[in-house]
Amino acid sequence: MNYLYIAEFYNLSITTLPMKIVVLGADGYLGWPLSLRLLRRGHRVVGVDNLATRRAVEEVGSDSALPISSPQERERAAKELGDFKFVFGDVTDYQFVKELISSEKPDAVVHFAEQRSAPYSMKDVEHAVYTMHNNLEGTLNLIYAVKEAKPDVHVVKMGTMGEYGTPNFDIPESAFVEVEIKGRRDRIPTPKFAGSWYHWTKVYDTYNMLFANKIWGLTFTDIMQGPVYGTRTEEIVSERFFTRFDFDEVWGTVVNRYCVEAVLGLPLTPYGKGGQTRGFLSLEDSVEALRILIENPLRWDPTGTSTSS
C-alpha cells in the first residue's frame, strides 16, 4: 500500500491506519505544511481554501517573502507525496461546507480557515466586524455541517494562547477548570481574556464548540498554540513546497517579522506595548504536534464529555 511505501522511504513508523482528512485553510502558512506532513504519513488530504490570505496580504501592500506556488502548482506538488485534492471554497458558505462533509466523509477536519491577524481586526469597525463574522460563521457552519452530515468527525480547531490573556494562574490543558468563588467550588470554562477582536473570535469559537459538544456530543480538539516561527519542515525540501512567509506589521507573526527586520537593519515592530510573554513553536514542531493530535483522536462520545482544549 502506498502509505507503507512512503513510510519506509522517509523512515517514519506508521502506527495508525490511513485517514481521510479535510484541511480547511490548506493554502495557509500552517495548512500547507500540515497537508504535506499528513500526505507523507499516508493519509488522504482534501485541501480547502478561498485564497483570502493571498488577497488580504495584497490589501496591505505586502507579499510572502518566499515565493509560493499557485494553488494548481501546489496541488501537483502535493500529489507527488500522496492522495491530495485542492478544493476552492469558502467556509462562510454553509451549503459548501455541508456538501463537503457529506461527500468526502472525512475522519477528521482541521479548521484553520479563519482571519488570523490581530492588527488587521483592530484597524477599524469594518475589519472588526469582518473578523467577527468570518471566523464565527465559519466555525458555526462547520459545527452544523458535522452535526447534520457526520457527527463522529473529529474537528481539530486552531485557537491561540492569546485566548487566555495573561492570567495569574497556571493555564491548564483543559476546557474546564475547578475554581473557588466566594467560598463555593464550581467547574467553569477555563477563564479567558483576549487582547484583540481577532483573539476574541477565537474565544467565542471555543465557547461555541463547548456548547455544541454539550448539546450534540460533537468531538473537538481546540488547540491553544503559541506563535509559530520558521519556514521549513521535513517536507519543505524545494521551492515548490515553500509555505508563505509574511513579514509585514499586519500579517507577519512576531518572530518571522523580527527576523526580517533584523536582517534588513530596520527597527523591530512590537504589537501593542510589547510586554507580552509567550511560548514560541517552530513550524516543524507545530506540524508534528498537529499530526500526532490528528492520528490520536478523541473517541466520539454522543453523551458529550469528549471536548478537550
Cα–Cα distance measured from residue 32 to residue 283, given in angstroms and rounded to the nearest whole number: 11
Closest separation in Å from C-beta 124 to its own copies = 7
Q: Which of 58, 59, 80, 178 is in the footprint of its own copies by CB under 8 A? A: 178
Phi/psi for 111 (5° steps) reads: -110, 100
125 binds its own copies (CB under 8 A): yes
Q: Which three cell numbers stand for residue 293?
A: 493530535
Total residues at interface with its own copies (CB under 8 A): 41
Of 3, 29, 120, 198, catalytic: 198
- Count of Cβ atoms closer than 10 Å to residue 244 Cβ: 22
**Which one among 38, 140, 155, 223 touches its own copies, defined by CB under 8 A?**
140
- Is 198 designated active site? yes
Q: Are 175 and 203 in contact (CB under 8 A)?
A: no
Among 28-36, 78-86, 203-211, 233-241, which window interacts with its own copies (CB under 8 A)?
203-211
Residue 158: beta bridge partners?
223
Among the listed residues 4, 17, 51, 179, the single contact to its own copies using CB under 8 A: 179
Q: Which three cell numbers stand for residue 129?
A: 466586524
Pairing mode, strands 184-189 and 176-181: antiparallel
Complex with its own copies: residue 11 or 124, whichever CB lies closer? 124
Name the residue nearer to its own copies (CB basis): 134 or 256. 134
Which phi and psi angles does 45 have, rounded to 5°? -125, 130
288 makes contact with its own copies (CB under 8 A): no
- Is residue 177 a contact point for its own copies (CB under 8 A)? yes
Active site residues: 160, 198, 202
